[in-house]
Amino acid sequence: MKRQYIGINERLPILETLPLSFQHLTAMFGATILVPILVGINPAVVLLMNGIGTIIYSYVTKSGIPAYLGSSFAFISPTLLIISGFGNFRYAQSGFIFFGLFFIFISFIVKYYGLKWINIVMPPVVMGSIVAIIGLELAPIAAQQAGFAPFPASEGTLVSKFIIDKNTIIISSFTLLVGIFGSVLFKGFFQVIPILTAVISGYILSLFMGMVDFSVVEKASWIAFPTFTTPIFNIDAILIIAPAGIVVLTEHISHLIVTGKITNADLMKNPGLEKSLFGDGISNVISGFTGSTPNTTYGENIGVMAITRVYSVHVIRIAAVLAIIFSCIGKVSALISSIPNSVMGGITVLLYGVIAVQGFRIFVEQNVDFSKNKNMVLGAVTIITGVSGATIYVGSVQLKGMALAAIFGIILSIVFYFLEKLRLINE
């Protein structure tokens, strides 16, 4: 009789493990490389730290959680804000280090005080709103890269008439269509990699249309170690990054719950949320010091496990090793960097939309009742604050978008909690 699943602590022969591990790497590859490309850094160092971070996470959680750490989308917007304001990605790295320390700090709170306080500070209506804002806030960037909207003009320059580039539109639209129909039509292995398939398809079309500078790949050496950058510590940059940590905390907890349901294990208790947060935190501190983007548990890999029913941590570890190996192959890094903006724009139209929908999904799954005035007000204020362009300056720190929305949402949640305790809420 054929086995129905492979357990968390089971190992398979290496010849069976390798293709399963490569599948995990492939599933996260398409999404995780978007983050470094969008913020303008070499994907090689990100791949390297994803691999190292996953191995660290596996060790800290005592091989009890089959989770792959990939680049988080929540940090794209604040990172771009820092780069535009400070002129250097290295300032954002200080914020990433703080984020890792934040996770470590929360891990100790969870260990000693449990989880009840999270629902007070961030009820589902606020969690869902903030996640939705991530996608909505990034939507204009996708439209610009896809050729559907003009890029913002620099301050003081004359605004010229927006002229549509036919080739850009063709490539971005084709990439988007492959991603759309692939998501609903692909089956089997391709069902978990529609994003990667769309990017590859768009890249091939770009090659035929002469939109790819392949000379970069030809000049690149086969062996090339990632370039590390040291952080520049700045309190303003840290404050800009900080609210994103709250969003990723929500994402981390959700992923752990879902993984537990798939594997039929209570991972929140054994090995425990505190170990999961601690492992992720250490990984992010190291990423911040080396010049990589922050890591988080990855939904794509959870999808792979759900389909294959292979929950082995060993398979995940081998996938991490493969990521480390690929990060040191120069031609692979150059190939990734040569992907045209039009291809990335096409797929991010879909991807950022999916992120926004995940926020609305939280409303449904957590049974958020918008007939209650409290929930309606919390959701309304949080979302509008995030997408309206509202900006508040605290000293030299600029708070807007997701960051401002998270702060407003948390403050209102705490105020409403005490009003409810005092029985002043009109419900």
pLDDT tens digits in sequence order for the chain, 427 residues long: 345 677 888 888 887 788 778 777 766 665 677 788 778 888 888 889 999 999 999 999 998 888 888 887 778 878 888 888 888 899 999 999 999 999 999 999 998 888 787 788 888 888 888 878 878 887 888 888 888 888 776 565 666 777 788 899 999 999 999 988 988 888 876 766 677 788 889 999 999 998 888 777 888 788 878 888 999 998 888 988 887 787 788 778 777 877 787 788 888 888 989 999 999 999 999 999 999 988 888 666 776 777 667 888 898 999 899 889 888 888 877 777 778 888 888 888 887 887 788 788 878 877 889 989 999 999 999 999 988 888 887 665 667 777 788 888 888 999 999 998 888 887 7
Helix, strand, coil proportions of the chain in percent (round to 5)?
70, 5, 25
Nearest to 77 by CA among 275, 268, 352, 338: 352
For residue 285, give the amino acid letter. Answer: V
Which sign, positive or negative, has the C-alpha torsion 281, 282, 285, 290?
negative
- What's the confidence (pLDDT) of residue 299? 61
What backbone torsions phi and psi does residue 400 show, to the nearest 5 degrees?
-155, 170
Distance CA 175, CA 18 (A): 29
Neighbouring CB atoms inside 10 A of 108's CB total: 12
Distance CA 399, CA 25 (A): 35
- Provide the sign of the torsion angle of the four alpha carbons 194, 49, 284, 276, taken in this order: positive
Dig out the tokens for 61 from the structure. Answer: 């959680």
Please give the pLDDT value at position 218. 81
The CA-atom distances, in angstroms, between 376 and each of 246, 363, 369 are 21, 11, 8
Sheet strands (E) in 163-240: none
Q: What CA–CA distance (Å, rounded) separates 169 from 147?
A: 6
Asked whether 320 and 199 are in contact (CB, 8 A), the reply is no
What pLDDT is attached to residue 163? 78
Q: Look at residue 317 in the predicted model and tell me its pLDDT.
A: 92
What pLDDT is recorded for position 395?
Answer: 63
Structure tokens of 42? 């070499």
- At 335 the pLDDT is 77
Where does residue 291 rank: exposed (0-12), middle (13-18), buried (19+ CB within 10 A)? buried
Domain definitions of the chain by residue range: 14-149+165-370
Going by C-alpha positions, the residue among 142, 138, 207, 19 that lies closest to residue 387 is 138
**Nearest to 283, CA basis, from 62, 46, 78:** 46
CA distance 120 to 187: 41
Nearest 5°: the CA angle 283, 286, 291 is 120
